Amino acid sequence: MRLWVALRMTIVLAVLTGLVYPLAIAEIGHALFPFQADGSLVRRGGAIVGSSLIGQNFSAPRYFQGRPSAAGDKGYDADASGGSNLGPTNKALATAVAARVRELRERNPGATAAPVDLVTASGSGLDPEISPAAAALQIPRVAKARGLGEDAIQALVRANTRPRFLGLFGEPGVNVLMLNLALDRLRPGGRPTGS
Amino acid sequence: MLANAVIQIGLFFLIVVAISVPLGRYMARVFSHEPTLLDPALRPIERLIYRLAGVHPETEQSWVEYAVAMLLFSAAGMLLLYALQRLQGLLPLNPQGLSAVAPDLAFNTAASFTTNTNWQAYAGESTMSYLTQMAGLAFHNFVSAAAGIAIAIAVIRGFVRRNAKTIGNFWVDLTRATLWILLPLSIVMALALVWQGVPQNFAPYVQTQTVAGATQTIAQGPVASQEAIKELGTNGGGFFNANSAHPYENPTPLTDLIEMLAIISIGAGLTHTFGRMVGDRRQGWALFGAMAILFLMGVAIATWSEQRGNPMLTRAGADQRASAAQSGGNMEGKEVRFGIVDSALWATITTDTSCGAVNSMHDSFTPLGGLIPLLNMQIGEIIFGGVGSGLYGMLVMAVLAVFIAGLMVGRTPEYLGKKIEGREMKLAMLFILVFPLVILIPAAIAIVLPAGLAGISNPGPHGFTQVLYAYTEASANNGSAFAGLNANTPFYNVTLGLVMLAGRFLMKIPVLALAGSLAAKRTVPPSAGTFPTNGAVFVILLVGVILIVAALTFFPADALGPIVEQLAMRHGRLY
């Protein structure tokens, strides 16, 4: 008798909270915010090139680079999110960070400091952002690789920097994918093309 | 930087106070069956549920009947989740064609979500179908939280009622907690999350060609609906492996703020529900005050330690100094949008409560920063606490505190007009002792068996902390992790699964027995010798008792893990 009530209650509440509720949120969510509900996917020339919320690998000098990623074997695997989970006294962490600092200095001659976010792996492995300090460090390299003035790049960085919420909560960040897409739209003269 | 940290944490705390008072008043109305604004919409659904399930809402239950109903319901739900995982390959809403979950992992996950732990030995995006996520996991997010609230309300009734044989009806409390509290808040929050960028779809994973020309598979799913209840119900089981560090679960500082408020508000509100239902709001404020002191201490230490950073990173050439252009600090395992302050704040909150969702990887915290989440769980997650479990855990500590005060002055202790006698103290001590027992003994076994040692991923004292953390979170039904531990093995799946069940049910049953025992007592009027439990002296005594009990129990274990690692790190020692 009591078990029978428990089983029926389980089914009733599973249907309500496990099916009706998420389906309703999907319906309303798509009606109100279709772009976000479908994952904030970004298109270029009709093809999906990623999501504005999900970071991706960039290694060419003409692009800003994101943070080191521990997601998947090659990093930024958006089907295998996660951090390095290396502990603070693990030798492997010290070795990895030292190697990243060396590489950063080779790629960006003249860079003095290595902003900590640019040499440490993010928690998700998909962090779409870098700190403004990490972006500023890369401006001379990107400008040189593209044959553009640093001012033009600087302006784009500023346009793709998200401030703190209400100026108080969280930290400012520069969206690497959106910044690089904006860079590709720049003509050598420094002005954005139509597309 | 310091100014911003103080402002963020201070504002956050003020918002919690502002939300918890009206929310607590509302919850008191819901469980006292007083009219609320939502009644016209929800009463018909409530009646329909009772009819479909065969519940007689007017029947009251003794503590034994209440406990049996809770256990049977948990067993049925656990079975449903186990079956869904094993059969998901044959069921709909599985666009990725994910196959059946292995039996030991399915048991572990079923135990984990039934007990509101939401420990995850799997990666969501590569293991669970959309149907399993929704009808299996998110369903448990609702009902395990609702069951926790129900038991807290039953315990409050134990203090309020006199000479009573019953403490309420489990099915009614469960249904009302789901319909009046969790579901409406989840709907509003889920839509806010979609607005900010959290996906809610049933599409296959998106295949893209990235700007650099590589391919990227982007996991999708009904994330927002699950994210909302995962925080509100202090469940914490992420849709994705990276949990709330994943930009799809937690894309902006605003979603981070909303999610942190969702984790803490119901637990904070229940202190006020308690104050109202026992007829003295200052009793609720006293518990709230004790919780607030412990919360602020924890978050201050964690933030300071993470911001101070790791000297080894500086030696490797990284710049950890905070400035307007970067958060600095120990950023390994943290997201740029949250930086240090919101990561340390979240880590504190998620373990003050029994949530266990993470927005940064605790395994990569500095030792002292990682000690705070560990300690928060070891003192029993009573700092605002899991929805329901935090309040009744704190009430047990309050009973212990008045008992110790009674010993000091040589009078029979009373709490809220109820004499605390032998039977109550035995039940309270059972509750307090089960907890370290199911943490320390299994952890000690795991670190001598090859099957346990095989899971450790970080060398040195940190490896021990990984194991200690795992059994602590399992017993505390938290579910956060030092996630480097490779726990998806038969050894860890089975032992952690059993510890979760013990941590939930071996503690809930003494609490319900305590409620039954208190309800049966008469109420004595306060006399000149009654120790007042609604003032500052009691708050300080309560905080002291909590810290002493936790320190006596866990200090030796913690000394071998995070404490010795902190000393090693400051001296530049690596492993």
pLDDT digits (tens, 9 = 90+) for A85-144: 999 999 999 999 999 999 999 999 988 889 999 999 999 999 999 999 999 999 999 999
pLDDT of the residue at A187: 65
Residue A189 pLDDT > 60: no
- Name the burial class of residue A89, with classes exposed (0-12), middle (13-18) and buried (19+) by CB atoms within 10 angstroms of its CB: buried
Residue of chain B with shortest Cα separation from A45: B211
In this prediction, residues B35-52 reach a mean pLDDT of 97
Nearest partner of B134 among B225, B250, B220, judged by Cα:
B225
Beta carbons of B150 and B174 less than 8 angstroms apart: yes
Residue percentage of chain A with pLDDT more than 70: 95
pLDDT of the residue at B21: 97
CA distance B324 to A171: 9
* Pairwise CB contact (< 8 Å): B76 & A47: no
Classify strands A47-51 and A41-44 as parallel, antiparallel or unpaired: antiparallel
* Pairwise CB contact (< 8 Å): B77 & A116: no
Q: Which of residues 157-186 of B touch A (CB under 8 A)?
A: 171, 174-175, 178, 183, 186
Nearest partner of B270 among B180, B388, B351, judged by Cα:
B388
CA distance B328 to B227: 28
Between chain A and chain B, the number of residue pairs with CB atoms below 8 A apart is 421
Q: Which residues of A touch B139 (CB under 8 A)?
A: 13-14, 17-18
CA distance B168 to B146: 14
Chain B closest CA to A5's CA: distance in Å? 6
Chain B closest CA to A46's CA: distance in Å? 12
pLDDT of the residue at B57: 96
Q: Kindly state the tokens that stand for B573.
A: 């020692």
* Pairwise CB contact (< 8 Å): A84 & B364: yes
Show Cβ contacts of residue A141 under 8 Å, excluding neighbours closer than 6 positions. Answer: A61, A107, A108
Count of beta carbons in the 10 Å neighbourhood of residue B165: 12
Among B242, B326, B569, whose Cβ lies nearest the Cβ of A123?
A: B242
pLDDT of the residue at A190: 46
* Pairwise CB contact (< 8 Å): A86 & B484: yes
pLDDT of the residue at A111: 87
- Per-residue pLDDT tens for A39-73? 999 999 899 999 999 999 999 999 999 999 999 99
In this prediction, residues A139-159 reach a mean pLDDT of 96
In this prediction, residues A78-89 reach a mean pLDDT of 95
Q: Which residues of A touch B7 (CB under 8 A)?
A: 168
Q: Which amino acid appears at position B500 of this protein?
A: M
Q: What is the pTM of this model?
A: 0.96
Residue A2 pLDDT > 90: no
Q: Which of B49, B55, B211 to mutate to test the interface with A (most CBs of A within 10 A)?
A: B211
How many Cα atoms are found within 13 Å in the side-chain-facing hemisphere of A125?
22
Mean pLDDT of chain A: 94
The answer to whether B459 faces chain A, any CB pair under 8 Å, is yes
Residue B322 pLDDT > 70: yes
Nearest partner of B299 among B254, B347, B265, B253, judged by Cα:
B347
- Per-residue pLDDT tens for B408-422? 888 889 999 999 999
Q: Which of residues 486-525 of B touch A (CB under 8 A)?
A: none
In this prediction, residues B29-47 reach a mean pLDDT of 97
pLDDT of the residue at B409: 84
Give percent helix, percent strand, percent coil of chain A, each to the nearest 5. Answer: 45, 10, 45
pLDDT of the residue at A193: 46
* Pairwise CB contact (< 8 Å): B337 & A173: yes
Nearest partner of B73 among B167, B134, B146, judged by Cα:
B146
Show Cβ contacts of residue B31 under 8 Å, excluding neighbours closer than 6 positions. Answer: B153, B173, B176, B273, B277
Instruction: Calculate Rg over the CA atoms of chain B.
Output: 23
Length of chain B: 575
The answer to whether B331 faces chain A, any CB pair under 8 Å, is yes
CA distances from B268 to B275, B293, B406 (A): 12, 13, 28
Confidence tier at B183 by pLDDT (50, 70, 90): very high
* Pairwise CB contact (< 8 Å): A87 & B484: yes
The answer to whether B541 faces chain A, any CB pair under 8 Å, is no
In this prediction, residues B291-305 reach a mean pLDDT of 97
Q: Which of A76, A89, A104 to mutate to test the interface with B (most CBs of B within 10 A)?
A: A89
Q: Which of B337, B371, B466, B485 to mutate to test the interface with A (most CBs of A within 10 A)?
A: B337
Residue of chain B with shortest Cα separation from A37: B199
- Per-residue pLDDT tens for B430-472? 999 999 999 999 999 999 999 999 999 999 999 999 999 999 9
Residue A191 pLDDT > 80: no
pLDDT of the residue at A112: 83
Among A30, A54, A170, whose Cβ lies nearest the Cβ of B247?
A: A54
* Pairwise CB contact (< 8 Å): B217 & A39: no
Helix axis angle for B63-87 and B103-114, nearest 10°, is 140
* Pairwise CB contact (< 8 Å): A89 & B573: yes
* Pairwise CB contact (< 8 Å): B333 & A84: yes
Q: ipTM more than 0.90?
A: yes
Residue B189 pLDDT > 90: yes
In this prediction, residues B542-551 reach a mean pLDDT of 94
CA distance B274 to B267: 11
* Pairwise CB contact (< 8 Å): B248 & A162: no
- Name the burial class of residue B194, with classes exposed (0-12), middle (13-18) and buried (19+) by CB atoms within 10 angstroms of its CB: buried
SS3 (DSSP) at A184: helix
* Alpha helix stretches (DSSP H) within chain A: 2-15, 21-32, 34-37, 91-107, 132-146, 150-159, 176-185
Give residue limits of the domains in chain B.
22-204+218-279
* Pairwise CB contact (< 8 Å): B574 & A94: yes
Angle at B371 between CA B363 and CA B499, to 5 degrees: 75
* Pairwise CB contact (< 8 Å): A26 & B247: no
Q: Which residues of A touch B218 (CB under 8 A)?
A: 39, 41, 50-51, 54, 78-79
* Pairwise CB contact (< 8 Å): B256 & A113: no
Chain B closest CA to A156's CA: distance in Å? 16
